[in-house]
Structures are given as C-alpha cells and as structure tokens.
Amino acid sequence: MAAEPGARRLLNISSFWLCCLLLLGRRQPGAAAARSGSPPQSPGASIRTFTPFYFLVEPVDTLSIRGSSVILNCSAYSEPSPKIEWKKDGTFLNLVSDDRRQLLPDGSLFISNVVHSKHNKLDEGYYQCVATVESLGTIVSRTAKLTVAGLPRFVSQPEPSSAYAGNSAILNCDVNADLVPFVRWEQNRQPILLDDRVIKLSSGTLVISNVTEGDEGLYRCIVESGGPPKSSDEAELKVLPDPEVTSNLMFLKQPSSLVRVIGQSVVLPCVASGLPTPTVRWMKNEETLDTESSERLVLLAGGSLGISDITEDDAGTYFCIADNGNETIEAQAELTVQAQPEFLKQPANIYAHESMDIVFECEVTGKPTPTVKWVKNGDMVIPSDYFKIVKEHNLQVLGLVKSDEGFYQCIAENDVGNVQAGAQLIILEHDVAIPTLPPTSLTSATTDHLAPATTGPLPSAPRDVVASLVSTRFIKLTWRTPASDPHGDNLTYSVFYTKEGIARERVENTSRPGEMQVTVQNLMPATVYIFRVTAQNKHGSGESSAPLRVETQPEVQLPGPAPNIRAYTSSPTSITVTWETPLSGNGEIQNYKLYYMEKGTDKEQDVDVASLSYTINGLKKYTEYSFRVVAYNKHGPGVSTQDVAVRTLSDVPGAAPQNLSLEVRNSKSVMIHWQPPPPATQNGQITGYKIRYRKASRKSDVTETLVTGTQLSQLIEGLDRGTEYNFRVAALTINGTGPATDWLSAETFESDLDETRVPEVPSSLHVRPLVTSIVVSWTPPENQNIVVRGYAIGYGIGSPHAQTIKVDYKQRYYTIENLDPSSHYVITLKAFNNVGEGIPLYESAVTRPHTVPDPTPMMPPVGVQASILSHDTIRITWADNSLPKHQKITDSRYYTVRWKTNIPANTKYKNANATTLNYLVTGLKPNTLYEFSVMVTKGRRSSTWSMTAHGTTFELVPTSPPKDVTVVSKEGKPRTIIVNWQPPSEANGKITGYIIYYSTDVNAEIHDWVIEPVVGNRLTHQIQELTLDTPYYFKIQARNSKGMGPMSEAVQFRTPKASGSAGKGSRLPDLGSDYKPPMSGSNSPHGSPTSPLDSSILLVIIVSVGVITIVVVVIIAVFCTRRTTSHQKKKRAACKSVNGSHKYKGNSKDVNPPDLWIHHERLELKPIDKSPDPNPIMTDTPIPRNSQDITPVDNSMDSNIHQRRNSYRGHESEDSMSTLAGRRGMRPKMMMPFDSQPPQQSVRNTPSTDTMPASSSQTCCTDHQDPEGATSSSYLASSQEEDSGQSLPTAHVRPSHPLKSFAVPAIPPPGPPTYDPALPSTPLLSQQALNHHVHAVKTASIGTLGRSRPPMPVVVPSAPEVQETTRMLEDSESSYEPDELTKEMAHLEGLMKDLNAITTA
C-alpha cells in the first residue's frame, strides 16, 4: 500500500479547495472591520504634580582672614527633605572625615580655622551647594567665592611730609585690596578717629583736610588681619605757618578709573594743595555736579567725591577741577558701573510626552552681558543634536525620552556674580493628556492633542506609508487611511522619526484632521531616518505603521574652495585674512565662514563674513593661528580651503618673571634667582631681564642692572653691611619691558659669617603627627656665626632617608603631607650651607589611624560622540564632568574605550585605553555600524560605562566579485539568455549597479568584451540577439558609490542550435501534451477580477472543477491501491529512468503527512536562492523544525547546496521584497511543501527547468499548473520586460489555529500577467523599507477577493507537480488503511452537500 499516502495527500488537497469555497460563501460583509485596535488605557490615569524644590538661602561671596571661622549659608526646601552636599572648585567635598569643615543641620558649611599661606591656599576658592532628593532630582546653588585676606604687605608706606595750615595732607599706606578693611591709623601711637575732615581712601591712604597744628606728629598705619598686627614705618607730618605768599597749585592725589557694581559705594579721590588754599568742584560729562542738594553725592575731605548706592546712570567720565583764584588745574577718571545678572524670565515647569520637542525659556540681563549655561540634575548640559541653545539663552530639547525627566537650571554668570533659576520637566504616558493648554515652551511641531480620551476602539495602523518626496534636508511622507476607518475624516496623524541607530525619537503632527501627508524639515543630508505613523481618534492613539527606512540625498551644487587665501598680522592681537571668490560657486555665494584655531589646541572658532576679507581681533600675542574659509550658497557649506598659518606680532611681556628668590651670600652680596614668565604671557622671545634694587630706607634711589640672554640668576655685589635691600625683576622682549615682580627684601649680614665649615646641629626639633601628615617645627643652631642657607628634612617609615625636602633658612616649620595612617616615621633635620650639611637631629612619630572608606564610583564620561573619518577609522570624543571646567587632566586617570558591531550578534567587545578625552579607533570594517562606550578609572575608582554612541564607517569599493553567476536561455527565445547572480560577499556598501562583460573569446582583452550595464541592485539581466550554437563567456563586476569591485570568474554558456531547443546546461520545462492556456478572468494585482463574470457563474465553474478533481482523485486512489507489488516496482523503475537518475537526499522516513491548515495572515515574501545546477529537480528534503535548521529546497542534487544556502543567507534580511522578484517585475511561481512548520521558518524553492519527454510524463506523471496568487506591491516598481518563470520568492508560513483562515488562490490569468503602477512616488533618491517581519506582513483573505485593493506581498503556492507527487508516493514507507480512505471520502461527500446547499441558495 505504498500509494496510499500519496492518495491521502491528494484528498487533503481537495479538502483544502472545498473549505476555501465554503468560506467564500459564508463570508460576512463586516468581517474585515473587526480589527479595531487595542483599547486605550483608562483616561483617568493619575497625573503627577510638580514638586516644590528650591533654595531658601544660597551662599554669597565672603571675605575672611586666616585662622578665623567662616559659615557659608545654604538651605533648600523640598518634601521629603533634600540631602545637602558641597562642591569646591567643581569637586565634591568629603566632609565626613574633615575635622575643620563640617555640614550644619540646615545645610550650611562651617569652616573653622581658615588655612591660608603663600604656598597653601587650602580654603580659598569657589563653593557651591548641591541639594538632592532621591527619585526626584538634583539642583545646584549659585557659586560663592571665599576670599582669604593675604599676609599684610605694604605697597607704599607713609613718608615724612609737611603742609601749610589750612591746606590738605596725604599719608600713603597702600596695601592689598582685601586688607583695606583691616587698616587703621595711629597718630603718636594713638588711634585716629575718622570724620568729615579726616578720611581713609579705598586704598588705605589717609587724607587730612584743613590742616591745623594739632595734626602734627608721627603717623603710622597698622594692618590687623588675624595674626599679630603689622605696622608701617612712622612718618612725621609737619604743619607750616602760612607764609602769606602764593605757592603753585598741585594735586596731592588724583582720581583714577574705577569699576564698581550697582548698589555699591565709591570714593573718587582728589586732593589739591597750594596757596591760596584751593577749592575743588566736580563735573561729569561736562555738567557740574551739585553735591550740596544731592542725597547720594557728597564732597569729602580734601575735595574727594563720594557716591553711594551707585546706579547705571552714574557711569561716565568725572572731572576734578581745583581752583585757588590764581590758577586752575583738573584731572579726570572713568567710572564703569557693572550689574550682576538678573532674570527677566525664569524657566517654567513643563508637562510633555515622549518624542515631543520642548524649549525652556530663560532671559537674563547684566553688565557685562552674562553667559548662560544649563544644568540638568546637577550635571552640565552639553549641546548636541538633541540639546541645543537657541536664541542665545533658551534650552531646546528635541525628541524627549523618559530619561530627560528632572530639574533643569539656567545659570547666568558674568564678572560680577552669578544667579540660577530652575524648572521641572515631567514626561507623561501617552494615554495621559497634558492637564493644561500647551505652554509656550512646547514647540508648534509637537503641540499634542489635549482632549481627554474616552473609552472606545482605537484606529489600526495607517497603510502604505511611502516617502513621496526625498530631498537633502526634508522628506515628504504620504499614507492611506487605516483599514479600521476607511474614510478617516476625523483622524489626525503623528509621524515619529529618528536617525538610524539613535534611540531618541521625534514627532511631527498633521496640521488638520483627515490630512494624510507631512513634510519633515531640518534633516541632515545623506542620513538614514526611520519613520513610523500612528493615527489618533477621539479615543486615543492607535497602532503604529511598520518602520520605513529613508535616506536623504547628499548635498549637491555646493561652492568650491575659495582660492588665494592669505593671512598677515596687523598687530600683536589681530590678523587679517583675505581670499577670492570660488571658481565653482554653483550659484550666488551668500556668505563665507572663517574658521580659526590656535596652534596646539583642538577648539576651532568661526565667524560669518559677507566680504572677501576679515580682521580678527582679540588674539593672543605672539601666537600661531591657522585659518580656513568655507563658502556658503543656498544649498549650504562648500569645500573648505587649505589651512594657512601665521603668528601674531610680539609685544612686551604680559606678566612678571616667576619664583623670584634671594640668597644672601655674605655681608656685601646677594644672589637673585628667578624663572621666566608663563609661556602664554611672554608675548615674544625673551631677550633679557632688568633687575632693579634699592635700600629699603631710601626708596627713591633705585639701581638697575641688565641681564641679557636666557640667564636666570645674577649676583649683586657692592652692597652695604647689615642693610635691607628690595629687589624686583622684569622681562624684556624686542618690544620693551614687561611688568616687574613685587619687591622682595633681603638683609645683608652684619659681618661676614663663617662658611668654611658646616652648620651646627639645630637647637630643637618638635613633631606633631596627624592622620596623613606630620607638622615639623624647629629652632636654628645656637652658634649664629656660621652661615645657614637652609634646612634639609628627611623622613621615611623606619628610616629617615626615604624622602628629603629642603626649605629656606628663614623657615621654622614644615608640614610633611601624603603619609600613611598608623605608620611609624623617623624624621631628621639638618642645617646646611655651601660647604655641606651639618649634624642631624632625629625624632620619630606615629601617624594617627584612619579608616579609609571604600572608593565611591566615579561619574561616567558624558557626551560620547563618534566622528567617522574613513572606511576603517572612527574618532571617539567625550567629556568628563569630574574634571574642572577647562577639561584639563592633571591627575593619573585614564579612560577605557570599548566598541563592537552588532552583526553577528555574539560579537565580543574590543577595548583600548586612553589618557586624553578622545581616541582614534582603527582597523574597522567598511560600511558597518559600531557602538562605542567609555569608562574612566582613577586609582582604585572606576565609573560605569557611559551611554553608547554609534557610528557607521564609510563605504569602500567591493573587495569580492558577484557570486553564484548562472546563465540560462530564455524559454521560447533561443537567442536571448538570462544571467542571474548574487551580490558580492564583501560589498562594503550599497550596491548601485553591475556591469556584465561577455565575449566569445575568453582570452580576449577585457576592453574587447561587450559591456551590459545593470542599474540598481537587480540580480538578473537579459541579453538578446546572440548567435545560435555559439559559446559565450560571461563576467560580472559590482559597483557601489566608491567604485568598481573585482570581476567574477568567467562562466561559459553555449546558445541553442535551433529555436526549439534549449541552451547547453539547461532544459525547457515540459508542459505536457495536455497543457492548455490559463482560463480567462484572471485577477488583477488588486485582487478583483478583470472580466465581468457573474459570481454565480464563477461558483458553478469552481464547483465543476472540484467535482472533476474529486472523481480523478478517487480513480487514482483505487487504481494505485490494487496494483501488485512487482508491477509497482517495474513502473517505478520506468518512471525513474524517464525523469532522470537523480536521487533524493532524504530517505522515505523524512516524508511527513501534510498539514493543510496554512494561516494566510502569516505569509511573507523572501528572496530565493538560484541553483547553478544545469539539471535541477526538486528534492524531498524535509522542512526543518527550527530556524537554525532551515535549508533551502533547491532543485539541485549537488552537494554544494549547503554552500549556496550559506552564502545567500547573509542577504535574507535586506529588503526581502525587492531583492529578486520585486526587481524583476513579474509574478513569481511558488512551490510549497505542505508540511506543518513552526512560526518564522522559510521555505525556498526554485523553478525546475528540466525538459521532460512528453511520452515519459504521460506514462507516469500528470501535469499540474501552478495557480498564481496576489502579487506584492514590491513587484510593481520593477522591470516589466522579463517573464514570470525566473524568480521565486520564499513564503514564510506561520500556522495558527487550523480553522482560522485559508489562503485562497486567484483564478489563473489567460496570458502574461499585467501589473498596476506603484503608488505615486517621486523620490529624488532611492529608499527602502525596513525588514521588520511582523509589521511588514500584509494579508490576503477571502474577504478581499471581491473588491479592489492595493497589491499585497502574498503568493499562494501551487501543489507539487504530479511527477514529484508520484515520487513521494513511491518513496514513502508509511502505510494507511483503506478504512481511512473511506472516512476521508465520506468527509468529502459532506463538504459537497454543503457546497450544493450554497449554490442552490
């Protein structure tokens, strides 16, 4: 009973047809409208409210003195209470283990015993309060500057002077500006009370007006800044009687230009002397000031002008005019008024949905103009493609994602101060309406529909989303209404789009209900974007369409480089750049952009220029800059010029030499040492140094010494014994002398001390251990007659010789830092001079214990960006928020960069370390998407990996030829052949075309071969008018945007001898003697019949065909079951001899009973594999049961079937609907083994080109014609000239419930198929849809057979050909009883009765 399985298979096929007819008769008209989308979520979902979170008190700038205590106030409000932390100079303070700095309960910072010295300014700096609420966010306060008054130092001291009675007197005492509040005056060692006649200027100078005899005496100024008071020299003031003769009028103190802040007070000094006694008046901008009637202006002692509560109107030029009746003198000064930043408009809280665009508005004012920066949850917002600063101060966030939620702060800062204001962003779920009308911070493109949602059906996905217009910077999308709402007059639509590889999605809404097109603007050229569309009705947003992948066009018609670019210096701070109009402007040049960059930096700046030259001012002196110019036309920026470099002119040095030190050699000489000014301030080549020195008691007698060249020390000889001298040094360039250092004092020895021997042992040594430091103090040797030039301190664990530090001979204490806790250190102290070191003094100490907390993780790098440089190189850059603002790395941290590609999915990461904020990744694959992330490591602390950045390397020319090249003759046209091939394995980019070379001489030069170009990524081509019975050789070469790849190996093909025969290596398909043309009434691509047959006639025809089929099946079944075994073997041998000697790879055990229940909604086309075998036949290889075991059902028995499968599988995911069948413009045939298979498995088939003798096929086989199904719209965009026998898509069969639906074939057409044109589309650049299987499937059901609709990518497979079915019958070892056949026949009779009832009704 070997034939019984085959008979059962035929019966099942017949059952499938009858069931389809039953469904056709019972279809309900409204069945297609059952899909209404998922119901919306409850409209009453809770809406989160904004949480009050702000600072009650913020720290302010504070002046302190050394050794005192300071409180920086800070208090924040929130529910729950926030956690307060402090930053100093951008770095968080660890207050847990700090015994000097502690956090008060209200959040304020208390600093006890402020530390400040020349080399250790530990507490001075910028402080910022940081408040954090878990699960809510972080806000930061304004920054406050803590200034510690330095050590008292007199710039000038009072000098003996005299004044006539009634005149004014000046006693100078200039100190550091921060010490002025601590200056007081004494007369004859008694404090002076200040009044209207005696005042102290802002510099500390004392002014006495209307001098009387009681003002005579000794004056001195005293500075009290926490330490012991420091007094200046005493100076005597003598009051002279009136000589009753005139004396010249002169200024004792003239006003100087000042800068003050609004609200402060200022004193413009102006003191004149002469006989007769002068009077002083003031003018501003040529207007006399009335100091008597003004409340804010007052004339102080000596004629100085005081202004209180300064306003912006007080700025200007002030003139001090002194007049004594005989003569008049005047002086002037400029008063500049600055203003702290103030908010004109603060950011407002915002509700928004994901994918929206929002703008935080922030308007500020101030003088100088404030700069604005934005902070999110305490972290700086780095501008990018999605975070932009617009209108100078506003923050725009594009394409919101959930992680954008939090607190955003606008921080405005200028030279005077800084302020901050914040707002909260809450991102609601899409089913929660924004509770109020859209604020102005929502952009027009993302204003959402705010009507509250009601419960009801949601719309299904919009259909046929296409890019009807593609340009360089915009894309126009069109679509059709959802199937659930064919009219769609009340529907609105949202278009979501994002760059490929970017998770952040943006949205564009239609402008009115019913509109089915949107133009998306402001896109980047030559960039791939992913689009999807959703429809909204009054109940909410419905299903999303399948993603559509579109690439914008590259920029075209751009200007060329500007020729003859030149740069020359015009001053030490300016450079002029000139150029000419580009030769290829491609239209009118709108403007130019001049880029310039300082050499040695990577920060390029630019400026817009409308002319052909520009002068850049404000550059650094004697610094090399590079310049380049880019021309702009209406299309955008053109080609950049080459860089030109030029150096600004030199100038006098901008800073004094550094590290000035004095060494007293003996009683008559002092050695001076110094270092050059900082490189950035040298402003040219240093040609020498100028040394000035003087006796401290005679400041007017200054001696100068010139040192040429690069010498950094000088011995000054010929000095007086036991005398204090002041020294200062200034640097020289060819332009002149720069600023000098501060005066530094040294006193020569009273006598020449002994330096013929080493110093004696220091008289005492004391140590005070701390946790990580030890304070060492000592006293000098008792013998003061031996020169001591310094002290050497040695220390180490167990031995004092591990480290040695040398200090100045004047120093009496030192703090040894960076020690280990709980460790025993031995310390030694030795005095030394030029002879050597003296006897050491030893001491030991144990540092205090300290528990080191576990290192907290560092913050990961931010702003990771990938810049593609070439086909195998990408530069990765990032920023580190744990670094200072200037992003300079001063410690031993390093960064680890890792990268990988997602194809294949199990690719491992590669890593590399970097010590800068960028890294160059090389050795990558061309045209491949990589993802990158960065982490930072510092000591034992490491951060987590940063957010990933993605980059796709540039394309490269193909490095492998097209593969699987096959040549077959076209059926019925012996002079026409069809060349098929597969894309190169290493395409290295998008294939834009192929070139076919063919010749009759394989050894001919390649330029003698005939060339056939193929445009696009088609994989088949016809060549006509060839010579019969002639061998031809074919080669194929692929090309992409970068160029041509290598050629394939030559493939030989001989054309047929006559028009009725096939070419060598191929056979025409045997149609059999009973072949008839297809019947009329073929379906159009839309599924509607093209002939006007009545539906009742159609049913009669179908019923007739079914009855005939059943009769034939019954006859064959009875005939096959009664044959003898020997007769079966003879017939089987005869059939095998006729059909060829091929044997199946599978054995009879592999044939499983068929499953006829095929879910039509899960069919989807895939490209097929072409077999190069000249005599292919179908194999009976069973369909695998999982996706890893999928094997293409090929027509070849060759063992290389696995190689072809593997080489082609790499292309399965790329545009499966256009690779083969879609690009050939034909209706493909399909052969599908009806074996049940799990979801997402593919069955591939290729048409058999075997030519069977007619007698053979009549003897043991029956012809069966493949019915054709509805055709995908993908096919319509392809060529119409090739017939349907050359391409077969693969159907993905995903079975569901067996009674859910059937795939119904359309009636075969009478002739070659015709196709409707594709949907209206005028793309300027080709684009392709994404290969998302689930969303891309369009279904063909019985309900769609009777009405016109767009083409759908479904091809209903035909049954296996009879000769193949016979082989299955013969090879199957399964047995079926006659009772089963009887039951099956009874089942068919029941189906026939149902069918008769339908037709009768």
For the residues 80-89, what does the mean pLDDT come to? 88
Among residues 938, 771, 914, the alpha carbon closest in space to that of 855 is found at: 938
Report the pLDDT averaged over residues 235-246.
Answer: 80
Query: pTM score, two decimals?
Result: 0.39
Number of other residues whose CB lies within 10 A of the CB of residue 158: 23
Mean pLDDT, residues 842-866: 85
Q: What is the pLDDT of residue 827?
A: 94
Q: Does residue 1063 have a pLDDT over 70?
A: no
**Average pLDDT over every residue of 1101-1127:** 78
**pLDDT score of 991:** 92
Per-residue pLDDT tens digits for 115-124: 877 777 788 8
Closest by alpha carbon to 1370, among 1212, 1182, 1136, 1161? 1136
What is the per-residue pLDDT for 1197? 37
pLDDT-derived band at 483, boundaries 50, 70, 90:
confident
Q: pLDDT value at position 1308?
A: 44
Cis peptide before 276 (omega within 30 of 0): yes
Eight-class DSSP state of 1092: -
As a three-state string, the secondary structure of 68-123 is CCEEECCEEECCCCCEEEEEECCEECCCCCCCCEEECCCCCEEECCCCCCCCCCCC
Per-residue pLDDT averaged across 1323-1348, rounded? 38
Q: pLDDT band at 200, cuts 50/70/90?
A: confident
- How much of the chain exceeds pLDDT 70, in percent? 72
Those residues whose C-beta lies under 8 Å from the C-beta of residue 1206, and which sit 6 or more positions away, are none
Average pLDDT over residues 561-580: 91
**954 pLDDT more than 60:** yes
The larger pLDDT score, comparing residue 495 to residue 1141, is at: 495
pLDDT reading at 1206 higher than 90: no
Longest dimension (CA), the chain: 161
pLDDT at 1134 over 50: no
541, containing H or E segment: strand 540-544
Query: Which pLDDT belongs to residue 1379?
Result: 65
Contacts of residue 1373, Cβ cutoff 8 Å, sequence gap at least 6: 2, 1148, 1149
Q: What is the pLDDT of residue 841?
A: 92
At residue 965 the predicted structure's pLDDT band, cuts being 50, 70 and 90, is very high
The pLDDT value recorded for residue 941 is 87
Residue pair 56/77 in contact (Cβ under 8 Å)? The answer is: yes
List phi, psi (to 5°) of 1383: -60, -40
pLDDT at residue 249 tops 90: no
For the stretch 620-630, pLDDT in tens is 888 999 999 99
Give the rounded percent of residues in the chain with a pLDDT score beyond 90.
25
For 530, the enclosing helix (H) or strand (E) is strand 528-537
Closest Cα to residue 555, out of 633, 642, 467? 633
pLDDT at 1376 over 80: no
Between the alpha carbon of residue 1362 and those of residues 1067, 1071, 1258, the distances in Å are 19, 12, 11
Confidence of residue 212 (pLDDT cuts 50, 70, 90): confident
Question: Tens digits of per-residue pLDDT, 254-273?
Answer: 888 888 888 888 888 898 88
The pLDDT, as a whole number, for residue 639 is 86
Name the pLDDT band for 1009 (thresholds 50, 70, 90).
very high
| Per-residue pLDDT at 1400 | 63
| Amino acid in the structure at residue 624 | E
Q: What is the pLDDT of residues 335-345, one digit of tens each?
A: 899 998 989 98
> Any idea which of 120-129, 961-970, 1140-1149 has the lowest mean pLDDT?
1140-1149
Q: What average pLDDT does range 573-584 have in this prediction?
A: 89
Mean pLDDT score, 914-936 = 93
Model confidence band, residue 1237 (pLDDT cutoffs 50, 70, 90): very low
Residue 131: burial class (beta carbons within 10 Å; 0-12, 13-18, 19+): buried
pLDDT tens, position by position, 388-431 = 888 888 998 888 888 888 899 999 988 888 899 999 898 888 77
Q: Given pLDDT bands bounded at 50, 70 and 90, which one contains residue 454? A: low
Question: Is the pLDDT confidence value at 680 over 50?
Answer: yes
Higher pLDDT, 192 or 1301: 192
Q: What is the per-residue pLDDT for 1372?
A: 41
Of 1044, 952, 1027, which is closest to residue 993 (Cα–Cα)? 1044
Return the pLDDT at 1401. Answer: 54
When comparing pLDDT for 135 and 820, which is higher? 820
The answer for 831, left when phi > 0, alpha when psi is -120 to 50, beta otherwise, is: beta
Distance from the first to the final alpha carbon of the chain: 42
The answer to whether residue 1338 scores a pLDDT higher than 60 is no
Task: Indicate the average pLDDT of the chain.
Answer: 75
Average pLDDT over residues 319-339: 87
Q: Which position has the higher pLDDT, 333 or 1152?
A: 333
Residues sharing a CB contact under 8 Å with residue 669, sequence separation 6 or more, in sequence order: 715, 716, 717, 718, 719, 748
Backbone angles phi, psi at 973, to 5 degrees: -135, 85
Query: What pLDDT is stored for residue 1094 in this prediction?
Result: 57
